[in-house]
Amino acid sequence: MNLILLGAPGAGKGTQADAIRDAFSIPAISTGNLLREGIKKGTSAGLKAKDYMDAGQLVPDDIVIDVLKERILQDDCKNGFILDGFPRSIPQAQALEKMGVKIDKVISIEVEDGEIVRRISGRRVCSACGTSYHITDNKPKKENICDKCGGKLIIRDDDTEETIKNRLEVYHNRTEPLKSFYKEEGKLIIVIGQKDVKDTTRLTLKALEG
């Protein structure tokens, strides 16, 4: 099963991707995480991507497409995968088609802009494993420490008020058109993001059963 998760930055794509991964035993692939790893390691893709990411702009399609291609060719993707944050533009969706990747379902997690700003402003992420937390909605058990791996929680470089605005604009202009793209193919499922993450997860998993 090959799945795509769409949604604004901070809508909770990552959390939903992890839940699906655990329920269906297929890897969750976040191009944002792959690019951040590239930056840490100093790969050429990472070096090229950093300024775009810090500004809240999309990394150019050819760079992200290469990174994604390399990842899905790995062995663990043989039985399918969940794409979290890819595609983010029509050309990226067309690149998937060109690669011969058949998408089964596309889940769009819908959260309104005001709530997105609130969520991202309070977001903390694990510097080691990437798990997301929130200072009031989803606190770690120990302050600033990841429940899962004990890593230190940090504020992402691009989680600033200014950058959030850019990311939302980019989402509406470049990524949201993918909803019509996949709706026409009969693959689009809308999931309304709930206050409690667990409720959103229940809706997501239910959508995939049917």
Annotated catalytic residue within 13, 36, 71, 119: 13
Query: Concatenated DSSP letters for 43-69?
Result: -HHHHHHHHHHHHTPPPPHHHHHHHHH
Site stretch for ligand ADP (CB under 6 A), options 37-45, 54-62, 74-82, 108-116:
54-62
> CB under 5 to 8 A by kind: which of ligand ADP, Zn ion, none does 85 bind?
ligand ADP
Please give the torsion angle defined by the CA atoms of residues 85, 141, 158 and 35, in that order, rounded to the nearest 10 degrees.
-50
123 is catalytic: yes
Phi, psi of 12 (to 5 degrees): 105, 25
156 is catalytic: yes
71 is catalytic: no
**Residues 70-109, mask of contacts with ligand ADP (x by CB under 6 A):** ---------------xxxx---x-----------------
Minimum distance from residue 162 beta carbon to Zn ion (Å):
27
Is residue 59 at the binding interface for ligand ADP, with CB under 6 A as the rule?
Answer: yes
Is residue 4 at the binding interface for ligand ADP, with CB under 6 A as the rule?
Answer: no
